[in-house]
């Protein structure tokens, strides 16, 4: 006899930052439920109930199916947080309070890593920029330090944008 529910979910999820509300993230499954036990009228005696123990202000879980979706995309900003640790619990509920059936529960962890997107566009202060360079110029003037133009990207992301 197994006292705990065994849950299965992909343990590493890569999710785009700012993914829209309602975006599917993962599906949690129970691998050893006795949910198939029926009463004399073919009603299921056992129901599963899923619950998020962490990150429940960022994600939501369908308590009956275990499907996890984005609840608040504003919390998925790579510049603020790079990854989220999600703890999920499931419990078997004895619908008819059958004394022979023991209530069981289990939990599992999932790591959601945010994929960095260039979500802050480059800002240009003039509508048009023009530069002239003499033909066959071997060395740039000293005051340019080897630069022809410099553009600043206000996005705080790591890496190239």
What are the pLDDT digits (tens) for 111-136? 999 999 876 666 777 788 777 777 77
Cα–chain center distance at 110: 9
**3 state DSSP class of 142:** helix
Instruction: Report helix, strand or coil for 75.
Output: helix
Token digits of residue 83:
């990854």
The Cβ of residue 160 has, within 10 Å, a number of other Cβ atoms equal to 6
| This prediction's pTM | 0.71
* Cβ-based burial of 137 (10 A; exposed 0-12, middle 13-18, buried ≥19): exposed
pLDDT digits (tens, 9 = 90+) for 70-96: 999 999 999 899 999 999 999 988 776
């Amino acid at each position: 006899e197994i006292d705990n529910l065994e849950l299965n979910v992909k343990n590493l999820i890569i999710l785009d930052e700012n993914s829209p509300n309602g975006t599917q993230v993962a599906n949690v499954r129970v691998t050893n439920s006795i949910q198939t036990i029926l009463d004399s009228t073919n009603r299921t005696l056992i129901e599963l109930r899923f619950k998020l123990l962490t990150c429940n202000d960022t994600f939501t879980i369908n308590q009956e199916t275990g499907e996890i979706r984005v609840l608040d995309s504003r919390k998925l900003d790579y510049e603020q947080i790079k990854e989220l640790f999600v703890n999920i619990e499931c419990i078997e509920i004895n619908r008819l309070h059958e004394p022979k059936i023991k209530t069981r529960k289990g939990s599992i962890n999932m790591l959601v890593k945010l994929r960095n997107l260039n979500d802050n566009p480059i800002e240009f202060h003039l509508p048009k920029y023009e530069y002239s360079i003499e033909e066959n110029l071997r060395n740039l003037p000293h005051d340019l330090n080897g630069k022809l133009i410099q553009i600043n990207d206000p996005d705080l992301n790591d890496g190239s944008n």
